Amino acid sequence: MGELSQKLSSELKELELKRRNKEISAKEFYGGLLNILQHLVNALEDENIDENQIRTQIPLLLTFIKSQIKNMAARGD
């Protein structure tokens, strides 16, 4: 595991532990997850990923993005 992936994994575990222990609200947990996602986006844009890995990740990203856009629209954003 690389340095960044270890850091993000640790951040995620800490965030999950805080949520499980009710130290943070659902909104704070959500914000922390989005922060980790933002770091992942920045790192993955520059990473050398082979074509097969990219193809397997596209459906997951499409599902997530479409769902978030639909939810935003429902909230009037």
- What's the pLDDT at 50? 93
How far apart (Å, rounded) are the C-alpha atoms in residues 71 and 60?
Answer: 17
So what's the pLDDT on residue 1? Answer: 74
Predicted local confidence at residue 15, as pLDDT: 98
pLDDT digits (tens, 9 = 90+) for 14-64: 999 999 999 999 999 999 999 999 999 999 988 999 999 999 999 999 999
Q: Model pTM?
A: 0.84
Give residue limits of the domains in the chain: 1-46, 50-77
CA separation for the pair 62, 77 (Å, rounded): 19
Residue 2 is predicted with a pLDDT of: 87
Q: Are 15 and 29 in contact (CB under 8 A)?
A: yes
